[in-house]
Amino acid sequence: MPSPQIDIHHIAKLSRLALSEEEAVQYQGQLNRILGHIDQLSTYQLDAEPSAHAMPIFDVIRPDIARPGFTQEEALSNAPRRAMDQFQIPKVME
């Protein structure tokens, strides 16, 4: 596994973080050092099956029956902005 230089601006955009230029420089250096360490994994013969979880539980389903959830008021209670009993976001269409 090579140690590529992170394109921090691209990753920040994917992460939805408006990093300052100062932060970008700092994180680029730190992440490259962390990845440099993580690259030790490439020196190992890793031929095991991948585990997503420690416990072998799969396909947990519940009965398809309606059950109580939040009321509209409860769901909206922490919204930073609301209008007409809905979440409000910046305009997306002209």
Partner 1 sequence: MSLANSTIATLRQRLLAKEISPRDIVTDVAKAIDTQNASIGAYLSWDLEKALKEADQADVSQPLGGIPIGIKDNMNVIGEPCTCGSRMLAENYTAPYDAGAIVKLRSAGAVPFGRLNMDEFAMGSSTENSALGVTRNPRDLERIPGGSSGGSAAAVAGNLAIATLGSDTGGSIRQPAALCGCVGLKPTYGRISRYGLVAFASSLDQIGPITKTVEDSAILLNHLCGKDARDSTSLDVSVPDFTSALGKDIKGLRIGLPKEYFISGIHAGVSAAVNAAIKKLEALGAIPVEISLPHTDVGVSTYYIIAPAEASANLARFDGVRYGHRSAAAADLMEHYMMSREEGFGPEVKRRILLGTYVLSSGYYDAYYLKAQRARTLIRQDFEQAFEKVDVIVSPTSPTPAHKLGALKDNPLAAYLEDIFTIPVNLAGLPAISVPCGTALEDGKSLPVGLQIIGKPLDEMTLIRVADAFEKA
Q: Pick the binder of partner 1 from 22, 47, 64, 85 (CB under 8 A).
A: 47
Inter-residue contact 86 to 73 (CB < 8 Å): no
Selected from 21, 22, 46, 65, the binder of partner 1 by CB under 8 A is 46
Instruction: Tell how far CA 35 is from the center of its chain.
Output: 18
Residue 38 interacting with partner 1 (CB under 8 A) = yes
85 is a site residue for partner 1 (CB under 8 A): no
What is the distance between the alpha carbons of residues 25 and 5, in angstroms, rounded to a whole number? Answer: 12
Q: Binding partner 1 by CB under 8 A: which of 22, 51, 64, 72?
A: 51
Q: Give yes or no for residue 1 binding partner 1 (CB under 8 A).
A: yes
Please pick, from the candidates 21, 22, 41, 72, the single residue that binds partner 1 as defined by CB under 8 A.
41
Minimum Å gap between C-beta 75 and partner 1 is 8
Residue 52 φ/ψ region, left for φ over 0, alpha for ψ in the -120 to 50 degree band, beta for the rest: alpha
> How far, CA to CA in Å, does 74 sit from each of 43, 64, 67, 77?
51, 23, 16, 5
